[in-house]
Structure 1
Amino acid sequence: MRATMASPDLYARLTAEIVASGDATVEVPTPSTGETLHLLPQSSAADVLDATARARIAQLAWARAGFAERRRILLRAHDLVLERRELLLDLIQLESGKTRGQAFEEVFQAASVTRYNALSAKRALRGGARRGGIPTVLTASVRYKPKGVAGVITPWNYALSLAAMDVVPALAAGCAVVQKADDQGALSILALRRAFIDAGVPEALWAVVTGPAAEVGEAVTDVADYICFTGSTATGRKVAEKAGRRLVGASLELGGKNALLVLDDAEPIDAARGAAHAAFSAMGQLCVSVERLYVDRKVAGAFQRELVKRLQGAALGSDLEFGPDFGSLTSAAQLARVQSNLDDALAKGATVLVGGKARPDLGPWFFEPTVLTGVTPDMSVYADETFGAIASLYLVDGDAEAIVAANQSQYGLNASIFSGSLRHASRVADALDAGSVNINEGYRGSFSAVAAPMGGVKQSGVGRRNGHEGLLRFVEPVTVSRATGLIALPRTGTEYRTLVPVMVLVSKSLKAIRRA
């Protein structure tokens, strides 16, 4: 393993930028050894109020700076993210335990999101003329006004990329951001923020706070003009309730129990290799990763053999280089969660097809990628999100059975289909209840498509990030109408009596020429 570019001095410089007025700190471990990586300052509710007040002031100038200036700064930030990628990769790995290749997905995503929003914000948010209610008599135009301060609450699992996917469009739209970072991902976020500050983003415009969700997270949702939350469905419901009481908008990306369908015309070797990555990238600690495998019985034998071979031969490790195929779980709590779900399933009759053991010889929270068969509805792993190194495999007879099984979930975030026919796969995709569907890929197709909206249905969330939809979250549309004076609008009963026949004729004429 090569020496890391990160150091205690760097950790101290980065964490000094957290808005935290007190002396409280927490120890943050690294999954590679379980030892303390650094001490992280903890913010308070008062710190959130202070950060928000300063962000509001900074936002006024940032909004007035205009699209061209924001574009220039964000494109410079894009370049700095790529220039500093080795440091960012080190920090992601040290905090999350994922492999370097999977860490690079985060850096690539952050750069892509930044470039897209820098170049697309003006086109998406420039507004313009709309047809008035009475053509030539009334005009209408729409402009978009930044909402103010966005409150962004991000989890530990994909700290850098998920931060970028909410923070950057907010900045591009002219908003400020107060971000509540999870303790386990704060260094990655702070290093990303530093690249943006060095590119020209005012320091107060993007504030980072840390600390207990019950105090600091609540404070963010109490004051933000718009709320972005990524996390569990249970917590997302609470965020939605508060946003509803305050009458502010919110986008929520929540849990998933994502299904992968292997159709009868799939190439089973390729499908098995795709399934292995889709289920166990970041050790399954990804909202869009796969936990349910529905395999047509006609190709199941070859698929299972290749899946077992692939996972048994995979290299596990936490090296800071492009070597291991799979990394570590991120925390002791994650290891306990995976082991609990496995124990419950085995006690109730499930069978381990491959994996099934912790690997303390590699590190404190390593766990073999595990695939179960014989999973039944009375097992916790059947319907509940594991968010860890376990996937369940089911044999099905035909598309209809696979579709019904895939849709029998309270979640609907992501789905995957492997097939030898694009037409066949597309028909099945149309029948799936999911916010995104990937064909012959697990999640990276939709996840990397930053110009396309991403989000869930059912209990997997509301709202969308990415694409124009992701930018429109952060603005309020304002309609400005003007009376041209060509014809005076009626104000008295007599005037209405005179103009009603004219207005009826106008309405019929507009329909005749297909004008909306």
Structure 2
Amino acid sequence: MTKMISLQNTLLSSTRTVVRSQFQRRTFPRVIQSYTRLASTMAPQLKDPSLLKQNVCYVNGEWVSAKSGKTFEVHDPSTGKLIGTAPEFDEADTKTAIKAAASAFETFRHKTGRERSKLLRKWYDLMIENQDDLAKLITWENGKPMADAKGEVTYAANFFEWFSEEAPRIYGDVIPSSVPGNRVLTLKEPIGVCGLITPWNFPAAMVTRKIGPALASGCTVVAKAPGETPFTSLAIAELAHRAGIPAGVVNVITANANTPAVGQVLTTDPTIRKISFTGSTGVGKLLMKQCSSTLKKLSLELGGNAPFIVFDDADVDVAVAGAIASKFRSSGQTCVCANRIFVQAGIYDEFAKKFAEKVKTFKVGNGFEEGITHGPLIHDRAISKVEAHVRDAEKKGAKVVVGGNKMPELGPNYFQPTVITHMTTEMAMAEEETFGPVAGLFKFSTEEEVVKIANSSEVGLAGYFFSRDIERVHRVAEHLEVGMVGVNTGLISDPAAPFGGVKESGFGREGSLYGISEYQVTKMVTYGGMGKPLQK
């Protein structure tokens, strides 16, 4: 890799001299581009190679392999090349991790909020110090461009910072009693050992968003990393070790083929008192059913079908920028991506033209290449779903104005950023979450009409709308059946904001001051005999 970069720099240096021949003028840029592309397909060089943990998971403060010795392969979605292997944990391995977390809980729960705060703050500092390496791991196993990956690391670390500040501020209440002489107090206590199951689309942020509040409240965790992107979670676990998180408090395990079996253990073992899951609605329902046997507390952040509404009175340029940010972030692979873009008839053509022109400027490719704005999708199943939605829309009368096809010249998991007009509610994209770089534009006439269509979905995670009418802003924000609303913005995620949905998008909130309560129980204590007069 070093030699490749050196050769590339030599070629770049050569272009700074006067190039006299036409052949040189044509050839040098092509050669440089060729070497840049070749270099991007090679393994990234980490400043700290020890952050790449292969064939081991983090259990009880130690790096251990699966008892069976089995592993699974993890591949780069950009190139299809092997990144490495991770342990295939099974039921017995998972129970060992649960046992370690249960043992650690007996001590960790009694640490003061200030002590837990300092541990989380140290963990935050280490993530920021190692931001470049963590971003490289994210780009390598997830595919998103380096700029996006660095942004995710900052976002992920900020959950540790936020909850480090919440940990010392866990308060109960004093409640006036209706019984003379009694005093009622409430105590906020950690719920216990928590099972955390995270997705691949934000391999750093999803794990910190769950671990941060759990540790702040005094809980211990067993976190199951996603099979597609395990190495980011394992690197974060290594930083937990360096931060001095006590053994057994944080346990990070991996599985691929054994994922259903591991999930079964986490949801049925009585030692686990809470499950937090981010993923599809179908899997969320299955986990909820499994949890019923032991009545665990649940937080579920599930699928979405986000409406994005642009009214006639909106600033079109602001709305276009918001739609770009919401729809195409991480190549459309986020649960809060705009999935149905509704534009009022009066500005539909103007919006569609400006939106399409912006999408045409995107540069798709390997996330390690300079200037790349959008990377690959995570795997071939994602590609198949995206293509199916585009073909379904075309078949039913929609018009593809930008993109619409795979990009095999880049690799098997690339799809062109796509804009489709003349969408109707009969098309698959209106009902299903695309989870890819495809924007379908629907035309509507009235506010009442679009709100009704937006609310027709069975899920309700996020929604967006753009308007400069203050009365409409309040009215529509209250009538949209979603857990989160973005008004004149396409970005709503923030550690300070409560994240979660309604309907079949799940329940519970992550981040914010509300997020820590998901990992607590409220204990009521009534004191009698408190009304006696003072003794003389």
With the length of structure 1 as denominator, give the TM-score of the two structures: 0.89
1:156 and 1:41 map into 2 onto residues whose CA distance is: 17
Contact 2:52–2:231, Cα closer than 8 Å, also in 1? no
Percent identity reads 32
* Corresponding pairs, count: 483
1:472 Cα deviation from its structure 2 partner = 0.8
Where structure 2 has 5 or more consecutive residues not aligned to the other structure, the ranges are 1-35, 60-65
Alignment correspondent of 1:176: 220
Alignment of 1:127 onto 2:169: no
2:518 and 2:326 map into 1 onto residues whose CA distance is: 29
1:287 and 1:240 map into 2 onto residues whose CA distance is: 19
The within-5 A match list for 1:338-487 is: 338-442=386-490, 444=491, 446-448=492-494, 450-484=495-529, 486=531
Contact 1:180–1:220, Cα closer than 8 Å, also in 2? no
1:178 Cα deviation from its structure 2 partner = 0.4
Contact 2:352–2:441, Cα closer than 8 Å, also in 1? no
Contact 1:283–1:388, Cα closer than 8 Å, also in 2? yes
Q: Which region of structure 1 is more displaced relative to structure 2, 38-47 or 365-374?
A: 365-374
Alignment of 1:164 onto 2:208: yes
1:102 Cα deviation from its structure 2 partner = 2.1
1:324 Cα deviation from its structure 2 partner = 1.7
1:387 Cα deviation from its structure 2 partner = 1.4
For the structure 1 residues 470 and 321, does the alpha-carbon distance in structure 2 shift closer, same or farther, using more than 3 Å as the test?
A: farther
Alignment of 1:217 onto 2:236: no
From 145, 151, 161, give the equivalent of 1:105. 151
For the structure 1 residues 71 and 322, does the alpha-carbon distance in structure 2 shift closer, same or farther, using more than 3 Å as the test?
A: farther
Contact 1:100–1:320, Cα closer than 8 Å, also in 2? yes
The within-5 A match list for 1:41-120 is: 41-120=87-166
1:487 Cα deviation from its structure 2 partner = 6.6
Alignment correspondent of 1:152: 196
Amino acid at match of 1:82: I
Alignment of 1:287 onto 2:331: no
Contact 1:8–1:38, Cα closer than 8 Å, also in 2? no
1:228 Cα deviation from its structure 2 partner = 0.2
1:343 Cα deviation from its structure 2 partner = 2.3
1:486 and 1:17 map into 2 onto residues whose CA distance is: 56
Contact 2:48–2:133, Cα closer than 8 Å, also in 1? no
1:133 and 1:196 map into 2 onto residues whose CA distance is: 47
Q: Once the two structures are superposed, what CA deviation does each residue of 1:246-275 show, in whole Å capped at 9, x if it has no partner?
A: 211100000000011111111212312221
The within-5 A match list for 1:205-354 is: 205-211=249-255, 212-223=258-269, 224-320=272-368, 323-354=371-402
Alignment correspondent of 1:504: none
Contact 2:57–2:87, Cα closer than 8 Å, also in 1? no
Where structure 1 has 5 or more consecutive residues not aligned to the other structure, the ranges are 489-516
Q: Which region of structure 1 is more displaced relative to structure 2, 257-266 or 59-68?
A: 59-68
1:142 and 1:321 map into 2 onto residues whose CA distance is: 55
From 57, 65, 85, give the equivalent of 1:17. 57
2:422 and 2:98 map into 1 onto residues whose CA distance is: 51
| Matched residue SS, 1:143 | strand
Contact 1:78–1:114, Cα closer than 8 Å, also in 2? yes
Amino acid at match of 2:56: A
With the length of structure 2 as denominator, give the TM-score of the two structures: 0.86
Q: Once the two structures are superposed, what CA deviation does each residue of 1:279-332 show, in whole Å capped at 9, x if it has no partner?
A: 111111101111100001111121111111111111112232662222211112
Contact 1:455–1:463, Cα closer than 8 Å, also in 2? yes
| Matched residue SS, 1:49 | helix
Q: Once the two structures are superposed, what CA deviation does each residue of 1:462-514 show, in whole Å capped at 9, x if it has no partner?
A: 111112221111111111111126479xxxxxxxxxxxxxxxxxxxxxxxxxx
2:130 and 2:68 map into 1 onto residues whose CA distance is: 31
For the structure 1 residues 221 and 80, does the alpha-carbon distance in structure 2 shift closer, same or farther, using more than 3 Å as the test?
A: same
1:146 and 1:38 map into 2 onto residues whose CA distance is: 37
Q: Once the two structures are superposed, what CA deviation does each residue of 1:227-261 show, in whole Å capped at 9, x if it has no partner?
A: 00111111111111222332111000000000111
Contact 1:133–1:139, Cα closer than 8 Å, also in 2? no
2:377 and 2:92 map into 1 onto residues whose CA distance is: 34
For the structure 1 residues 176 and 359, does the alpha-carbon distance in structure 2 shift closer, same or farther, using more than 3 Å as the test?
A: same
Contact 1:153–1:179, Cα closer than 8 Å, also in 2? yes
